[in-house]
């Protein structure tokens, strides 16, 4: 069964450094999302992406965040200057256009900012 994949599974970085989290959505999906989950808390929406542009973003998704689909398969989240409070699990999700609107999540990247 097709699935969303994410790399790396765990990323440790120092405060102020840039990180890029990578996702490969399900191949025939057209809508892409990033969510994050701070340890023990609910999953929070960050950004949605369709047709090579941001559809919607939350207030969490400030100028230090950016997303990109650099080729036909990858979808990336960049954090320009990481802060301690960026430590969280970051989940990529994708959904298909047409009749099916279900969002399928990847296994996540655990980001630890020290």
Partner 1 sequence: GENVEQHPSTLSVQEGDSAVIKCTYSDSASNYFPWYKQELGKGPQLIIDIRSNVGEKKDQRIAVTLNKTAKHFSLHITETQPEDSAVYFCAASIESNFGNEKLTFGTGTRLTIIP
Residues that bind partner 1 (CB under 8 A): 4, 30-31, 33, 35, 41-45, 48, 50, 55-56, 58, 91, 95, 97, 101-108
Cβ nearer to partner 1, comparing 4 with 111? 4
Provide, rounded to whole angstroms, the least separation between the CB of residue 16 and partner 1: 28
Contact status, residue 25 vs residue 75, Cβ threshold 8 Å: yes
Cβ nearer to partner 1, comparing 48 with 87? 48
Q: Which long-range contacts (CB under 8 A, 24 or more apart) does 4-8 make?
A: 4/92, 4/93, 4/94, 4/104, 4/105, 4/106, 4/107, 5/106, 5/107, 6/90, 6/91, 6/92, 6/106, 6/107, 6/108, 6/109, 7/109, 8/109
Cβ nearer to partner 1, comparing 29 with 82? 29
Provide, rounded to whole angstroms, the least separation between the CB of residue 50 and partner 1: 6
Cβ nearer to partner 1, comparing 66 with 103? 103
């Amino acid at each position: 069964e097709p699935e969303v994949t994410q790399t790396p599974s765990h990323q440790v970085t120092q405060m102020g450094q840039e990180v890029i989290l990578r996702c490969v959505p399900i191949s025939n999906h057209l809508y892409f999302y990033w969510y994050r989950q701070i340890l023990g808390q609910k999953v929070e929406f960050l950004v949605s992406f369709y047709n090579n542009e941001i559809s919607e973003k939350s207030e969490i998704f400030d100028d230090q965040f950016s997303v990109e689909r650099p080729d036909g398969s990858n979808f990336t989240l960049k954090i320009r200057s990481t802060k301690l409070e960026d430590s969280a699990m970051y989940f990529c999700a994708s959904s298909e256009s047409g009749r099916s609107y279900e969002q399928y999540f990847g296994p996540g990247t655990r980001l630890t900012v020290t």
